[in-house]
Chain A
Amino acid sequence: MSCSINLKEVSYETSSKEVFKNVSLDVSHEEKVAIVGANGSGKSSLLKIVAGLIKQQDGGVFLFHNEMNSLKDFKEYRSDIGYLPQDVSDHFLCPTVIEDVMFALRAKGFDKDESHKKAIEVMNKLGITHLENRNIYDLSGGEQKIVALAGILITKPKILLLDEPTNALDEDAENRIIDILNSIKKSMIIVSHHKTFIDSLAPTIYRLSNNGLDKINH
């Protein structure tokens, strides 16, 4: 099976500490991988490295077998990568739900009607069409996460990088997110603390520590 993401001996450090070293990971086409680890172990940083937001100090990042030597190399793959940040309020770029979901397509040059049609299709799939004209900042945390996911899925990315997608959500919202993510057939890296959430979603789980990634049997 072809690999979507390869990390080879990746090390990352900030100005004050070494976050992790020698992390290697292969994520195949449509494979779901979860990463757990203690606070400050660098889970979010690892996702940001794969998303091309920050640069590792050592090692190689490969997307679809192409090495990303600099952050500029990620530009070509921007629409193939969907990144859901931990705090989804950072993700939103427009005031209402429909405008935000349409945003990525409009920015790519699609016309208003076509973008609107595709946005409604995605929202319908995720069961949020009733939120169409709502102000994003009036939504609950769970609704915001699903709206952010809709804004990502509209560009049909091949890779999803999800940073704590169920953080601060109640059980119902968490179950909804699990159902949605289980129905999506894409390569995914999910970072979470939630054991039940990860167990019901990802067959492969890794623990990140400053010595690298270790596979956990579950």
Chain B
Amino acid sequence: MSKFNSSILLVAAFLYSIFLSFNQVEIIFVLPILYVIYCEHDKIFSILKKLLFLNLFIVMIFIVLLIEDSFEEAINIYIRTNMIILFNLLLFSRSSGYDIVRALNELKFPTKFVSSVYFTLKMIQTLNDEFKRIKQTLRARGFKASSSMFAYETYGNLFGHIFVKSIKKANAMQDSFKLRGFHGKIYLINNSKLSYYDVILIFLICMLFVKKVMV
């Protein structure tokens, strides 16, 4: 479970990303990252691995900027992008996704929006599980990825299967809505409390706001 309150996570991620997007990189922006690394130190290697993978795409942006603009601008954007992604990955490293739904609900987002996000996440999870199951089946049945007509047909069948499955799931969910009296709202219990971890995170984000926006 995350050490942070889910609403604080969402607000901190949003504000940090906005502040850093519209400012030059300074040492003060590193402080929240260092703090979250301290809080989530046991997850740091898996997060860095993810960041490294995402860098495959960020490097492309860097190259484009390098060609079209100056080296300083390209490196600045490269570092800022990495910092924003690292901060967000660290914050949400322990999130199941449903924490975001809870946070949206606590932050009083419209009920239909909260329900839509929840059911979207549920659908993604279901289809992801299905995709993993199909991958295991392919492996168990001796399928090897290659560039052949058979392989492409198999991929086509796989996506067709997932498409059909998603329609069936959506129909089953619709049945459940009817049977359980759903009318656009899911009812969540908001009982999350603020901890010292949250207070320090809020303090660091407020410090950025004061330093970069007000001063």
Contact = CB atoms under 8 A, between A and B. Distances in A.
Interface of A: 48, 51-53, 78-79, 81, 83, 85, 87, 89-96, 98-99, 102-104, 106-108, 112, 115-116, 135, 137, 151
A135 B98 contact: yes
Contacts, number: 68
A53 B179 contact: yes
Contacts of B182: 93, 103, 107
Given A90-B176, A91-B180, A103-B182, 16 more contacts: A52-B178, A90-B173, A93-B177, A94-B186, A94-B187, A95-B118, A95-B188, A98-B189, A99-B187, A99-B188, A99-B189, A102-B187, A106-B187, A107-B180, A135-B98, A137-B125
| From B118, B169, B175, residue with most partner A Cβ within 10 Å | B175
B149 to A, nearest CB: 29
Contacts of B169: 90
Contacts of B186: 93-94, 99, 103
B189 A112 contact: yes
A63 B98 CA distance: 39
A116 B178 CA distance: 22
Contacts of A48: 175
B130 to A, nearest CB: 11
Contacts of B181: 78-79, 104, 107-108
A94 B101 CA distance: 10
Interface string B174-198: 0111111111011111000000000
13 contacts: A53-B175, A53-B179, A79-B181, A85-B172, A90-B176, A93-B180, A95-B188, A103-B180, A104-B180, A107-B182, A115-B187, A135-B96, A137-B125
A151 B181 CA distance: 12
Nearest to B101: A95
B187 A107 contact: yes
A106 to B, nearest CB: 4
A94 B180 contact: no
Contacts of B96: 95, 135
A83 B181 CA distance: 12
A97 B102 CA distance: 14
B116 interface: no
A44 B178 CA distance: 17
| From A52, A94, A151, residue with most partner B Cβ within 10 Å | A94
Interface in B106-145: 118, 125-126
Contacts of B178: 52-53, 78
B172 to A, nearest CB: 4
| From B176, B177, B180, residue with most partner A Cβ within 10 Å | B180
Contacts of A102: 187
B183 A107 contact: yes
A107 to B, nearest CB: 4
Contacts of A99: 186-189
Contacts of B183: 107
A51 B179 contact: yes
A95 B180 contact: no
A209 B126 CA distance: 33
A99 B118 CA distance: 13
Contacts of B118: 95
Given A78-B179, A83-B179, A90-B173, A103 B187 contact: yes
Nearest to B172: A90
A124 B189 CA distance: 19
B27 to A, nearest CB: 39
A151 B178 CA distance: 14
A151 B176 CA distance: 12
